[in-house]
Amino acid sequence: MSFSSKNPLLSVIVPVFNSERYLKRCLDSVAAQSYKNIELVVIDDGSTDSSPEMLDQYAAASSLNMIVHHQPNAGAAHARNAGIEISSGDYITFLDNDDWLDQDFCCKLVQEALSSGADVVCSGYRRPDDRGVTGLEVVTHPNEEWAKYIVGAAWAKIYRASFVKDGGYSFLDTNIDEDLYFTIPIIEQANRVSVLPYCGYNWFNNSGSVSNTSQKTSSGLMFEETITAILMECKRRGIPISAELEHYFIRLVVWFLLYTCRGDDSKTSLHNLCYYKCWLDKYIPNWRHDSYAKVGHPTGDGVSNRVAVWMFAKHPALFRIVLSAYRKASF
């Protein structure tokens, strides 16, 4: 790795699985970047559609510095980990195969990394759908309490490659929140995290994607295994479980309960509520006294998220009523 302080090489890592419909748009957005010192690392994770052929043809015809790696299907976590290992850039960023970047995304984040000296630069995102309508736009602001935690996904950030590789950070092979096993320890252990008030990542609200069409129930989801693994990884690394991190885990539990209650029956939903309160009692014993569980805090988080966590921690009877009403309203 040859680091240039003015023009560092940025590796854009794209895991691909059966994305023939949207793949060209994704790759074209990398090719169109105003920042040119880019290495595009694409991991074909055993696609069964025309994606493998499209990737090979694109690489052959493009002037991009592009690496295409084909592997048997092993999941997004394995694909991203393979991308990290293969990459040779000074910085790393991640892009999902149906998403795309604004033209100045790489330039703005690299410039911020260089000027701030940060190991991680965080930015915002927008949520366009297949009609071209943007339903959500999240812009991060550095002075907000929740700024570095707003985007839990690995994308919309860049990372100093040596920090990632020397630290042995990796993605967890699970079926929910696998990004957090990577992002939380990195954010907590980075010498400096810079938050850029900029939105240049397009997280596609794909009506045909797994996240939008799969059953929204708790059945089969490895949520307990995932959050326990994240917590244990933090402890293994000697990361203090601060008030912020405690709130993060409480917020994850609340999100899971609200997400899955839309598909679970009332008995299962109530069981999960009791079960994950016990999980918190075991691992975050002071969760009922969460100092961030306030309607007005933490700043930077959405109002609905703040209210939901506040009710869960401080007014459990009210939260149970809201959970039941939210479940019924989703049918």
pLDDT in tens, 13-46: 999 999 999 999 999 999 999 999 999 999 999 9
Q: What mean pLDDT is reported for the chain?
A: 94
User: 10-212: which CATH number, 3.30.540.10, 3.40.50.10490, 3.90.550.10, 3.40.91.50?
Assistant: 3.90.550.10
Task: Please name every residue paired with 68 in a beta bridge, in sequence order, or none if there are none.
Answer: 42
**Predicted pLDDT of residue 6:** 85
Query: In b/e form, how buried is each residue of 172-182, taking b as 16+ CB within 10 angstroms?
Result: bebbbbbbbbb
Residues 112-116 have a mean pLDDT of 98
Convert the pLDDT of each residue in 256-288 to its tens digit.
999 999 899 999 999 999 999 999 999 999 999
**What token pair was written down for 157?**
């950030």
CA distance 298 to 292: 6
CA distance 135 to 293: 27
**Predicted pLDDT of residue 208:** 57
**Predicted pLDDT of residue 212:** 46
pLDDT band, very low/low/confident/very high, at 210 (cuts 50, 70, 90): very low
- Give yes or no for residue 211 having a pLDDT over 70: no
Convert the pLDDT of each residue in 73-92 to its tens digit.
999 999 999 999 999 999 99
**Predicted pLDDT of residue 4:** 56
All structural domains of the chain with their residue ranges: 10-212, 215-329
Phi/psi for 98 (5° steps) reads -110, 10
pLDDT band, very low/low/confident/very high, at 213 (cuts 50, 70, 90): very low
**What token pair was written down for 220?**
């089969």
**Predicted pLDDT of residue 209:** 54
Percent of all residues in the chain with a pLDDT value above 90, rounded to a whole number: 89
**Predicted pLDDT of residue 5:** 67
Does the global pTM surpass 0.85? yes
Question: Cβ distance 127 to 134 under 8 Å?
Answer: yes
pLDDT band, very low/low/confident/very high, at 138 (cuts 50, 70, 90): very high
**Predicted pLDDT of residue 1:** 41
